[in-house]
Amino acid sequence: MKSLLITRPLPDEVLAAARAQFSVTVRLNNLPMEGDELRDALRNFDLVLPTLGDAFDRKVFADVAAPRCKMLANFGVGFNHIDTKAAKMAGVTVTNTPGAVTDATADVAMTLILMSARRAGEGERLVRAGHWRGWHPTQMLGMHLTGKTVGIAGMGRIGQAIAARCHFGFDMPVKYWNRSEKELAFPAERVTSITDLASQVDVLLAAVPGGADTHHLFDAEVFAAMQSHAHFINISRGEVVHEAALIAALEAEEIGGAGLDVYEFEPKVPEALRKRDNVTLLPHLGTAALEVRTQMGLMAVDNLIAFAQGQTPPNLV
């Protein structure tokens, strides 16, 4: 029976499925693996099920010349914490869990859009602090969302799911920035420049993958192009945003607000963001539903089982 390291505690159903097929070790720590832990994982286990933050980078693979581990079955759709080129050179297969995260992440995107536009976080803090003095006609006036234009950067599965919710649920015209034109089940206009997209929409949403190609994609130029009432939303990866530029844009009132589920130096969140009432902050809740995390884990286990049986895993990256 092949040995499997699961790098974080996972739902019981996932662990049971894994233990039925493999000799499982569960690392009982919810923080990312670091340093020697990463190297020991490659040296001491046949298979590893890692997740966000477990940085199997080029240096880690360089230090383990002939890894015992032959597969990294990533728990999550994003895999920019794994150097896939270095893994391939070391003979290590990498998979992920696409599809399972789509609807859950899109739902959180809509949560952030609504909370940011309608000042929901600010309003809840007001009530909890005991400072609310009752309704009046000009209290906490936010941005009415229905009919506003949404701009989505990245029209993959998640971007399309968000766009569908915006179009069908809120009658929002959809514009998007993507490397290629997409055939969609609803009207949407492709804009070829991300700064042009930023200038044309009421809500600008980041749904791009992480990695070198998208690092700091949302920078001072993009925020300067946004309309002063517009809101910026990020449910993708923290490093796609130049956080200092976002803070500067908020402080200069270049944009109307922001809703963030991920952060450039996660889990560190700058005080400049935490203290602003027009910024909604969530603790990376994108896929945080039991049935979704279970589905993700079972998908990762299915990838492991296929590999162990000499078959092609269904979700190769």
pLDDT in tens, 33-60: 999 999 999 999 999 999 999 999 999 9
Burial of 122-154, coded b for 16+ CB within 10 Å and e otherwise, reads: bbeebeeeeeeeeeeeeeeebbebeebbbbbbb
> Which residues are part of the catalytic machinery?
237, 266, 284
Phi, psi (deg, nearest 5) at residue 59: -65, -40
Same domain, 46 and 120: no
Give a yes or no: residue 315 inside a domain.
no
What does the DSSP 8-state code read for residue 33? P
Question: And the tokens for 121?
Answer: 């976080």
CATH number (domain holding residue 251): 3.40.50.720
Q: Report the C-alpha gap between 248 and 270 in whole angstroms.
A: 12
Same domain flag for 79 and 152? no
| Residue 316 domain-assigned (yes or no) | no
* Overall domain count for the chain: 2
* Residue 208 lies inside a defined structural domain of this protein: yes
Same structural domain, 31 and 122 = no
Task: Kindly state the average pLDDT of the residues 276-291.
Answer: 96
234 lies in the same domain as 301? no
Round to whole Å and give the CA distance between 105 and 40. 32
* Domain match, 86 and 137 both: no
Considering the domain architecture, whether residues 108 and 153 belong to the same structural domain is answered as: yes
Average pLDDT estimate for 159-164: 98
216-235 tens-digit pLDDT: 999 999 999 999 999 999 99
Strand order in the sheet with 47-49: 23-26, 3-6, 47-49, 71-73, 93-95
Give me the percent of the chain exceeding a pLDDT of 70: 100
- Overall size of the chain counted in residues: 317
Residues of the chain with pLDDT > 90, as a percent, come to: 97
Whether 177 and 239 map to the same domain: the answer is yes
Please indicate, yes or no, if residue 125 is contained in any of the structural domains.
Answer: yes
- Do residues 58 and 112 both lie within one domain? no
Q: Is 47 helix (H, G, I), strand (E, B) or coil?
A: strand
**Residue range 55-65, pLDDT digits in tens:** 999 999 999 98
Judgement on whether residues 211 and 296 belong to the same structural domain of the protein = no
CA dist 276 to 85, 151, 233, 252, Å? 40, 24, 15, 12
The verdict on 230 and 148 lying in the same domain is yes
Instruction: DSSP letter for 240, please.
Output: G
**DSSP state at residue 193:** -
Q: Are residues 120 and 248 in the same domain?
A: yes
| Predicted pLDDT of residue 99 | 86
Q: Tens digits of per-residue pLDDT, 103-142?
A: 999 999 999 999 999 999 999 999 999 999 999 999 999 9
For residues 47 and 1, the answer to whether their CB atoms sit within 8 Å is no
Question: Is residue 313 in a domain?
Answer: no
Q: Tell me, yes or no, whether 95 and 213 share the same domain.
A: no
Tell me whether residue 37 is in a domain.
yes
* Residue 114 belongs to some domain of the structure: yes
Domain containing residue 89: 3-100+290-308
Is 314 part of a structural domain of the chain? no
